[in-house]
């Protein structure tokens, strides 16, 4: 999805959060903010760019000016630690559900609350469980999702945020218990906002339930552009019979892919009005879409 007007305040909010953890010098904060406002696509009113690409430009500026490779390392560790503390509770709620697979999918989508842009105003993930389990998913997409699982092929799973990755692990554990699927879980090669990298994947033991790989993208892109991924990821994407894409950044970029688009299942929260229009739903609703 190309940049929409709604993306600009989100970009500035995320950038400001990154600037504040990178420096406490007000003059430096203003200088970095000015550099971001001078990104050519913003200055020249160019809307022909993907939202994750615009974020990448801002993150690159912040990293270069601050000298910090991963400004949100502390936040990501905190998000993962809290989610792992809740792991037994999440597992129990899935196990006791009438439909554990659907419950695991809903909780995986719930994990998308662990977004940097929502973090200041979001409550603990535990407070969202009941609402998540009551969410409605489109039955036609749900049936297609289950049919894909029954084929027993490799699933290519594109992860999103720290914290959220723990809910992904629970879903993957259930899939592997019930079906013959192997799962390849893809994290970011470089730190981008609070997206999971190999470090966060290992922190929550994702390597114990899936093949854990980096996407191979050089640059802090909070999304997935297949042409920029490693040859391994490109090969897996081209041949995958089932692809799960978590979060808005991955949706914004993978929705633009022509190759193998029909095998992608998008799982995310509708966090902004452009998503509400695309998915014909209301703000913060749970989305399972193809």
State the CATH number of the domain containing residue 244. Answer: 3.40.50.10880
Tokens of 202: 């290992």
59 lies in a domain?
yes
Predicted confidence at residue 261, as pLDDT, reads: 93
pTM value surpassing 0.85: yes
1 lies in a domain?
no
Q: Are residues 126 and 14 in the same domain?
A: no
141 lies in a domain?
yes
Of 22, 37, 66, which one is at a domain's C-terminal end? 66
Residue pair 265/244 in contact by the 8 Å Cβ criterion: yes
266 lies in a domain?
yes
Q: Are residues 47 and 85 in the same domain?
A: no
Tokens of 115: 């977004």
Of 15, 45, 66, which one is at a domain's C-terminal end? 66
Q: Are residues 135 and 255 in the same domain?
A: yes
Predicted confidence at residue 118, as pLDDT, reads: 62
Q: Are residues 81 and 148 in the same domain?
A: yes
Q: Are residues 78 and 35 in the same domain?
A: no
Predicted confidence at residue 112, as pLDDT, reads: 94
Q: Are residues 125 and 225 in the same domain?
A: yes
In whole angstroms, give the CA distance from residue 161 to residue 196.
5
Q: Are residues 179 and 45 in the same domain?
A: no
Q: Are residues 118 and 153 in the same domain?
A: yes
Residue 13 domain boundaries: 7-66
Predicted confidence at residue 120, as pLDDT, reads: 45
169 lies in a domain?
yes
| Mean pLDDT per 10-residue interval, the chain, length 290 residues | 92 91 91 95 92 96 93 94 96 98 98 75 78 96 96 93 97 96 97 97 98 98 98 97 97 94 96 96 96
How many Cα atoms occupy the beta-carbon half-sphere of 24 within 13 Å?
0
230 lies in a domain?
yes
Q: Are residues 39 and 96 in the same domain?
A: no
In whole angstroms, give the CA distance from residue 8 to residue 255.
20
CA-CA distances (angstroms) from residue 242 to 144, 145, 156, 166, 184? 10, 9, 6, 21, 11
Q: Are residues 170 and 53 in the same domain?
A: no
Domain count, the chain: 2
Kindly report the number of other CB atoms within 10 A of residue 148's CB atom.
Answer: 19
Sign of CA dihedral 2, 8, 12, 14: negative
Q: Are residues 31 and 132 in the same domain?
A: no
Of 45, 66, 87, which one is at a domain's C-terminal end? 66
2 lies in a domain?
no
């Amino acid at each position: 999805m190309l940049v929409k007007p709604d993306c600009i305040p989100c970009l500035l909010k995320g950038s400001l959060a990154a600037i504040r953890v990178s420096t406490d010098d007000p003059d430096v904060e203003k200088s970095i903010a000015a550099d971001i406002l001078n990104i050519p696509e913003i200055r020249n009113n160019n809307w022909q760019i993907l939202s994750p690409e615009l974020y990448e430009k801002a993150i690159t500026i912040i990293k270069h000016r601050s000298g910090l490779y991963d400004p949100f390392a502390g936040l990501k560790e905190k998000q993962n630690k809290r989610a792992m503390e809740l792991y037994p509770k999440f597992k129990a709620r899935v196990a006791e559900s009438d439909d554990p697979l659907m419950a695991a999918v809903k909780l995986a989508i719930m994990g998308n609350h662990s977004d940097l842009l929502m973090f200041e105003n979001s409550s603990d993930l535990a407070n969202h469980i009941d609402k998540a389990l009551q969410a409605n998913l489109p039955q036609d997409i749900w049936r297609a999702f289950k049919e894909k699982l029954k084929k027993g092929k490799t699933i290519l799973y594109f992860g999103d945020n720290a914290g959220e990755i723990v809910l992904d692990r629970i879903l993957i554990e259930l899939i592997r218990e019930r079906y013959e699927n192997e799962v390849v879980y893809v994290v970011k090669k470089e730190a981008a906002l609070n997206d999971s990298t190999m470090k966060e994947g290992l922190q929550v033991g994702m390597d114990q339930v899936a093949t854990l790989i980096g996407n191979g993208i050089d640059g802090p892109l909070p999304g997935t552009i297949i042409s920029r991924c490693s040859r391994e990821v490109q090969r897996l994407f081209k041949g995958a019979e089932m692809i799960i894409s978590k979060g808005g950044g991955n949706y914004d970029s993978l929705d633009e892919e022509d190759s193998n688009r029909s095998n992608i299942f998008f799982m995310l929260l509708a966090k902004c009005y452009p998503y509400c229009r695309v998915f014909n739903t209301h703000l913060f609703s749970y989305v399972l879409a193809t």
